[in-house]
Amino acid sequence: MSDVRPSLSRWRQFNALTKPRVIQLIVFCALIGMVLAVPGLPSWAEVKLAALACLGIWFVSGAAAAFNCLVEKGIDSRMKRTAWRPTAKGELSDRDTLMFSTAMCSVGSWILYVWVNPLTMWLTFATFVGYAVVYTVILKPLTPQNIVIGGASGAMPPVLGWAAMTGDVGPEALILFLIIFLWTPPHFWALALYRVEDYRKSGLPMLPVTHGNAFTRLQIVLYTWVLFAACLMPFIYRMSGWVYLGGAVILSIGFCAYGWALWRNYSDALARKTFRFSLIHLSLLFAVLLIDHYL
């Protein structure tokens, strides 16, 4: 079956630049931070505030994704996973992409500054700079630790959500940040393992390319165990109860089991399953945290 995808309509081309599935996870994680910041059921005013914050974060995150597509269009064109993107295929010009990214960032920042609070706007804009510039332009092409250092930007959504509802950044938000920060490397390295030839052709110094398959698998194992410990912190800090603890332990054991199996007996199929489970792990972990909050 061919990997070539048909040309997208103009609207769908711009929408593809925002990486919708990634943005959905970002907004979901931000929403978790918002919900946890509000004791009990939210008021109607808090619901409206959360909706506006989600909208603003969606706009700015989409802008960062579009800028990433612009900067990496040459790399994307050499990788099967991303060669279909409109920027990689030359269907959208650099000017159009840059204007789209600028407009998205401006609208999102305005929504957050005017309708939410300045702190959330500045934190969200800093996240944009961290991902679109520091990670994409500087770290990603220079160091195999790109995903570790750059993961700080991807771990910000719960902090943004917390700041939107409270006007500050509490220790609870930083615990959620830590969980995503530690989750990011094993998540992306599992992908890089079975996409290693793509990354080699692209010239990006991803860990499987620079340090090999075995070393990357060992790092995944180590990170899943450190992540396990971090996932217990909401319970230890008393921001959650026994329902969350049970879910966190089950999900973390599952992630550790995948990491261990990948280390002991590698296959591309198992790396794919590990990558997919990592998405399930984070989504269900935060979903259980949300359920626990209302019990």
Digit-coded pLDDT (tens) for 50-104: 999 999 999 999 999 999 898 888 877 887 777 778 888 888 888 999 999 999 9
What pLDDT, in 10s, does the model give residues 119-170? 999 999 999 998 888 887 877 777 887 788 778 888 999 999 999 999 999 8
pLDDT for the residue 7: 52
Q: State the Cα–Cα distance between residues 167 and 270, nearest whole angstrom.
A: 43
Q: State the Cα–Cα distance between residues 61 and 263, nearest whole angstrom.
A: 34
Confirm if 227 and 179 have CB atoms less than 8 A apart.
yes
Match domain 7-168 to its CATH number in 3.40.50.720, 3.90.1300.10, 1.10.357.140, 3.40.50.300: 1.10.357.140
In this model, does residue 32 exceed pLDDT 90?
Answer: yes
Q: State the Cα–Cα distance between residues 76 and 86, nearest whole angstrom.
A: 10
Q: Provide φ and ψ at 266, rounded to 5°.
A: -75, 145
Count of residues making up the chain = 295
Q: Which of 77-81, 206-210, 242-246, 268-272 has the lowest mean pLDDT?
A: 77-81
